[in-house]
Chains A and B, each alone.
Chain A
Amino acid sequence: MSGSGPVVELRGLTKVYRGHLGIGRSLGLDGLDLSVEPGQVFGLLGPNGAGKTTTLKLILGLLRADRGEVRLFGRPASDAAVRARLGYLPENPYFYDYLTAEEFLDFYGRLQGIPRAERRARVQASLARVGLAERSSTALRKFSKGMVQRLGVAQAIQHDPELVILDEPMSGLDPIGRREVRDLILDLRRAGRTVFFSSHILQDAEMICDRVAILDHGRLRAAGRLGDLISTTVRWFEVALRGAVPAGPLQLLSSAGDEHLVRVPDVSALAELLETMRRTGGQVLSVWPRRDTLEDLFLREIAR
């Protein structure tokens, strides 16, 4: 296992989509530079149509780059052997109707090179891991969308790959499902694996990523450690209070009867407000510390 260089490295990656009969072109990706270090959880973010899926397909060899290069584990992406070290879950996966969960995982296990002796055990283990153990003999055509998604995850990790690539892994899942996927990704990181996923759900990304990259219209808008990108922002507080709104450095956000939600810019302004409320006998219902979320960063970058 080479642990030195980046697991995924993209340099100047460009993809142009040609229109029908050669008329019209649209830029899928424009000169993307990106690198993913081993053991990281990397989030590729952006609105729909930004080029996230294009990037993933270029990494996997489903598309050919017009310019630039893709290196996986230091080797060109066209090297088939490299794909033995990764697992992939596509967006909205759809699998063979006519197989059972077990047959399905066994089939992929064969393709992934898992020797027969271990295969059965691994299949059962991954089914259990994603919570489908009781459905191992059920035909896939009877699976719900969430179950299919979980089976897809099972297929992506059962051979214990060093790199796991997930395209919108949380899409279509209920909150429980989303939490399970988040936990799984964190487990993988704990085990020293690298996870590269794309999503347009920023809250999830915020919770688990080490690094993110934000794409829009095929271009990279922002990239770096999560802490770096959104830490240097002013924190503010939202305070819910009952009674008269005092004067001071605050901003009224909303009112309902005699209950108001106000925003104060920093800790000292907050202290001042609390003191004022105590003196005037008003009631402070709650205080929320807020910081810049990824969403704010996202909207700022996209608006530019």
Chain B
Amino acid sequence: MRRPRPLDAVVAIALNTFREAVRDRVLYLLVAFAVLVILSSRLLAMVTVGNEEKIVKDLGLSAISIFGVGIAVFVGVSLVFKEIERRTVYTLLAQPVQRWQFVLAKFAGLLAVLAVHVVLMYVTLAFALWMRGATASGLAPAVWLILVELAIVTAFALLFSTLTNPILAAVWTSAVYVSGHLSWSLRLLAERVPPGAGRWACEAGYWILPNLDRLDRKAEVVHGLDLPAGFIAWSTLYGACYVALVLALACLAFERREFR
């Protein structure tokens, strides 16, 4: 009989996921951010002397990152859970769609939501800066790296949400996020621990955990410093490969899952 082309099915589910997230509450977050950035812009002009532009840029970039992580974690973990709890997943999996396609599609949908969020916020920030005669074009590399970081966090959110309930999944994802930002300390610890199992464990931990801190280049772009050549490209490759590995785990977990 007929079967959907794999890409077709993935796109359909991804679009559906996107629609679900957007018709949810996410838009309100965007509005909140836009208001925050523009307000801070005006307020700072009244209060400080000197480089308000830097503060707006710092605040803007951090808000994009924080709101993005919030969406990735809270929407991401509920994605799969809601489907299972409300049993919409039953009819979905009864279709000629394979389970890994389902996982990939969920990821694609959520990533699309995050991309839209990041772009919209970036535009808002650019507008706020334009209103005081500054430009946001130099911030683009940091914003792109924020998106890479969000992709990694989302992949983890999806992985944990196929494994457990949303609260635990949110906790685990947040733990990975925090560890990812502190992985440099594992490096330092490895130097101080005497050689042996302990040192090996620290090194292993450092390489296995996603190095999110390295993707944070907010300080550099705000001060207009150059990034090393190829940094963006290699970071993107790192992010893409890491996401692929985590999603593979998520697909595996979902493949084995039974629906009582």
Contacts and interface: CB of A to CB of B under 8 A. Distances in A.
Do A and B interact directly, with beta carbons closer than 8 Å? yes
Interface of A: 17, 57, 60-64, 80-86, 88-90, 92-96, 98-99, 107-108, 110-115, 152, 155, 159, 161-162, 165
A84 B1 contact: yes
B94 A64 contact: no
A107 B12 contact: yes
A148 to B, nearest CB: 12
Nearest to A156: B91
Nearest to A94: B86
B226 interface: no
Interface of B: 1-4, 8-9, 12-13, 16, 19-20, 23-24, 86-88, 90-98, 258-260
Contacts of B2: 84, 112-115, 159
Nearest to A167: B90
Given A63-B259, A98-B20, A98-B23, A113 B4 contact: yes
A96 B16 contact: yes
Contacts of A108: 91, 95
B88 A95 contact: yes
Contacts of B4: 110-113
Nearest to B23: A98
6 contacts: A17-B260, A63-B258, A90-B87, A90-B90, A90-B91, A114-B2
A96 B96 contact: no
A113 B3 contact: yes
Contact of B259 (A57, A94, A111): A57
A94 B87 contact: yes
A83 B259 contact: no
A111 B87 contact: no
Contacts of B87: 90, 92-94
B93 A61 contact: yes
B16 A107 contact: yes
6 A-B pairs closest in CB distance? A88-B94, A84-B96, A113-B4, A110-B12, A113-B2, A111-B95
A42 to B, nearest CB: 18
B96 A112 contact: yes
A90 B90 CA distance: 7
Contacts of B91: 88-90, 93, 95, 108, 152, 155
B1 A62 contact: no
B18 to A, nearest CB: 11
Given A60-B93, A83-B95, A110 B258 contact: no
A110 B9 contact: yes
A57 B86 CA distance: 16
Contacts of A61: 93
A290 B133 CA distance: 92
A82 B87 CA distance: 21
Contact of B96 (A17, A57, A81, A94): A81
Nearest to B86: A94
